[in-house]
Amino acid sequence: MGGTLIGAVSARPHLSHDGRSWSRLAGSLQFLLELLVPSDYPSVRHVPYPSLHSFVPARCRTLVNRALAAGRMAGVVMAINGCAACLKKQREIDQLTEELQRLRQKLRYQERQAMAGFFGSATPSAKRPVKANIPPSQLLKRKGARPGHPGVGRHAFDASQAERVVDMAPAAGERCPNCDTRLEDKGMAGRAVLESCPVKAARVLYRLPKQYCPRCRRTFQPRAPAVLPKSLYGNQLMATATTMHDLYGIPLGNVCEQTALGPGSVVEVFHRVARLFAGIPERLIQEYRQAPVKHADETGWRTNGHHGDAWLFATPRLSLFLFRQTRAASVPQHVFGKPWLPG
């Protein structure tokens, strides 16, 4: 049974059907043929694959068929040949085939990236370099609601809802500008318009009556409404300027232009509002500590080129923002406090 097998098996070593290496499968097949082919049979050098069974005894062909079937299931190409040049060519073919598959995969990736964007299917529609055209079936669809559907557009208000009524002068006077005929009166036409008033500081003078009691020797005088003590600016103006700058992020110069106030006056308004609400953050911290569910986060916040950090401490009912020059643990320790918090 110690026959001679002079051959070479060329395949892709990394491809396998059941996870095992093809080299192990080829080695097992070679060892099996060496055991099964008798020594009196001629050598199997240069024997093509279909003629291999003529050299194997009938009693051993079942085992050989199983071994060869396993090679075919692994998706490999076998060549039992002793030619060194053929083996070299087959190896070059395998290398070029692997290189071709790698280049095809790279090309498909670049095509998908060019169509869908850098993040593939997760790329936002606004960031995609190429946007697909609308299907023809949707182009034929009419815009808007179906005929007979009640409209939901803006409706003009009537005269009873108007906050201000302005009477305009006649456009042509009493006579026709073309033929000088006396014009007849046809009533009034209403033109409803939604308008906003400019945010300007209005000069308001409150006349406060003074009363004196000769018996108590006391003077009684009412206070001006919605004005802080010894303040030149009304509460509405202070609230408007603070909201524009701190809530909506309008620059200080635009705030001064819209309110007709100087920069120093607006800054003084901001400082006074800050002093009035100086104790509010501590009250919010106390409420934050008692909440059963808490959230905290921080991020970088540069101001005038200087590094800083913005801290957020939030609950379902409130959001507390702290702007500090550090992201150290001292900031959350101040908010959380030393006692153990609920939740």
Compute how many other C-beta atoms are within 10 angstroms of the C-beta atom of residue 341: 14
For every residue of 109-163, DSSP letters joined together read HHHHHHHH-TTGGGS-GGG-SS-PPPPHHHHTSPSSSPTTPPP-S-----GGG-S
Residue among 9, 8, 14 nearest 98 (CA) = 14
Q: Which of 90, 116, 142 is the last residue of a domain?
A: 116
Per-residue pLDDT reduced to its tens digit, 257-307: 988 899 999 999 999 999 999 999 999 999 999 999 999 999 998 888 888
Percent of the chain with pLDDT over 90: 30
For every residue of 210-232, DSSP letters joined together read -EEETTTTEEE-PPPTTB-TT-S
Lowest mean pLDDT among 133-147, 197-211, 296-310, 329-343: 133-147
Segment 125-133 mean pLDDT: 70
Cα separation, 173 vs 160, in Å, equals: 28
Q: Which of 86, 116, 146 is the last residue of a domain?
A: 116
Q: Is residue 283 part of a domain?
A: no
Higher pLDDT residue, 340 or 311?
311
Residues 255 and 314 occupy one common structural domain: no
Q: Which of 66, 101, 116 is the last residue of a domain?
A: 116
Residues 326 and 259 occupy one common structural domain: no
Higher pLDDT residue, 25 or 170?
170
| Per-residue pLDDT at 191 exceeds 60 | yes
Residues 10 and 79 occupy one common structural domain: yes
Q: Give pTM, 2 decimals.
A: 0.46
Higher pLDDT residue, 105 or 39?
105
Q: Is residue 50 part of a domain?
A: yes
| Per-residue pLDDT at 9 exceeds 50 | no
Q: Is residue 210 part of a domain?
A: no
Residue pair 313/296 in contact by the 8 Å Cβ criterion: yes
Q: Is residue 298 part of a domain?
A: yes
Where residue 73 falls among pLDDT bands split at 50, 70, 90?
very low
Residues 272 and 297 occupy one common structural domain: no
Q: How far apart, in Å, are the Cα atoms of 297 and each of 126, 281, 309, 339?
A: 28, 17, 10, 21
Q: Is residue 146 part of a domain?
A: no
Higher pLDDT residue, 343 or 54?
343
Q: Is residue 27 part of a domain?
A: yes
| Per-residue pLDDT at 12 exceeds 50 | no
Residues 259 and 300 occupy one common structural domain: no
Q: Give me the number of domains the chain comprises.
A: 3
Instruction: Please give the pLDDT value at position 144.
Output: 73
Q: Is residue 309 part of a domain?
A: yes
Residues 267 and 298 occupy one common structural domain: no
Residues 21 and 85 occupy one common structural domain: yes
Q: Is residue 74 part of a domain?
A: yes
What burial letters (b/e) apply to 265-285, b meaning 16+ CB within 10 Å?
bbebbbeebeeeeeeeeeebb
For 29, the domain range is 1-116
